[in-house]
Each structure stands twice: as structure tokens, then as C-alpha cells.
Chain A
Amino acid sequence: EAEVAQSPRYKITEKSQAVAFWCDPISGHATLYWYRQILGQGPELLVQFQDESVVDDSQLPKDRFSAERLKGVDSTLKIQPAELGDSAMYLCASSLVADPYNEQFFGPGTRLTVL
């Protein structure tokens, strides 16, 4: 069964360091989402891609976060420099573009701890 892949699963870093997360969506899914989920809260959308284009990054802290999906397939989310408050689960999801109300398929997430 097709799955969304994410790596690494766990990342521990010190504040002010740079970190990067990778996501490979389900083949054929043109829409890709990055979410941040702080412990005890629901996921919050950081950025949404349609193919290689950003369609929503209104909640992305652009002074330190960047996201790209150069070929419209896999995607990288980067944080530089990391801050203590960035400790969270980072979830990637994908969905078919044909219907925006389609379910989103989530990857296993990357749990980031900033020391």
C-alpha cells in the first residue's frame, strides 16, 4: 500500500543549529502539506504545495523556516536557526489535486527536540 515517507523519524538538535526534514508523498499526489504539531495540540498547517508551487504559507515563520518542492514530487522543510519553541512533531501529508476535499494521507512524522 502506498505511503507517505518522512525522514528522519527523530531529530535532536541544539538551538541555533540548522535542521532539515524530508517528505516523499504518495505517487501521483500533487498536493503536499507540512504541518507542525506541538505536544497536546492539533496539527497546524505551515505550508501547502500544489505541484512545485506554494499555495499557502501564511503560517510559516519565514525568518527561519523554508520549504521547497523543486520538482513537484518530494519536499524539504528547513529550520535555521532552530529555537527551543520549535520542538514539535512535523507531519507531512499528501492528497489528490482533483478534489480539495479529498482525505489527506499522513506520513509518520518527524519528532524534533531542540535543546
Chain B
Amino acid sequence: AQKITQTQPGMFVQEKEAVTLDCTYDTSDPSYGLFWYKQPSSGEMIFLIYQGSYDQQNATEGRYSLNFQKARKSANLVISASQLGDSAMYFCAMISGGGFKTIFGAGTRLFVKA
């Protein structure tokens, strides 16, 4: 069965520090994609970063990087130099080959302290 697990309901980080949000996944498909989305209190989901299962290098997008460890089935999001505006819910998601159905984790709420 396909599954996304985010074990951190909430995280605190000091402004300007780096933070890692954990995500583990489970799928039997060799082809899959992993996404991270940000959801501010306003409700919209904002795409942050994508990692394909066959990508050799870890994805990076500005202050966001994805620590992809295929053997451990983990896809942790690293946010460098945290800003107050980073306070939000963060969701890890997966699309796997076959049905290409997207499944989301339960999310991690990040609080950035001034």
C-alpha cells in the first residue's frame, strides 16, 4: 500500500536557522514523485519542491532542498535561513506509477520564532 508518514505534528525554529521536516514514504512502484507543499493559514497549497525517484541529485529550490534517501524511503525537506513567513503547515505528497494518484501526509506545522 502507498503511504506517506510525517511524524512531526509541530516544529519550532529560530528565525535565520535551518530546519528539517521529516517525511517517509512507502510504495512498491519503482517510478514515483515526491512533492512538498506549503499551506499558510489562508488555506491555499503552494508547491515548493519536487523529487523524482530516478533523479540522481537532491532537488533544490532557493532556500528549500530535499534530502532524498531512497534506500531509507525518506524525503525530508530542509529549509535554510528560516523566515517568519515560513510559519505554515507543510505537507509531503507522493505520486506513484500505475494510477498516478496523489497521496498526502498529515502535515507538520512549522513555527518560526523571531
Contact = CB atoms under 8 A, between A and B. Distances in A.
A14 interface: no
Contact of B95 (A100, A105, A109): A100
Nearest to A41: B106
A101 B94 CA distance: 9
Interface string A30-58: 00010000001111110010000000100
Interface string B91-114: 101010001111111110000000
A48 B44 CA distance: 19
Nearest to B107: A42
A93 B45 contact: yes
Contacts of A91: 45
Given A45-B102, A45-B103, A103 B43 contact: no
A111 B46 CA distance: 17
Contacts of A105: 47
Secondary structure of the B contact surface, majority rule: strand
A108 to B, nearest CB: 5
Chain B interface size, as a band, is 20 to 34
Given A56-B101, A101-B50, A41 B107 contact: yes
Contacts of A106: 37, 44-46
Interface string B12-39: 0000000000000000000001010100
Given A42-B91, A42-B107, A43-B91, A104 B102 contact: yes
B99 A56 contact: yes
Contact of B106 (A42, A100, A103, A108): A42
B49 to A, nearest CB: 9
Interface of B: 4, 33, 35, 37, 42-47, 50, 52, 91, 93, 95, 99-107
Given A42-B104, A91-B45, A93-B45, 17 more contacts: A41-B106, A42-B4, A42-B105, A43-B45, A43-B104, A44-B104, A45-B101, A48-B101, A56-B99, A101-B50, A101-B95, A103-B47, A104-B45, A104-B47, A106-B45, A108-B42, A111-B43
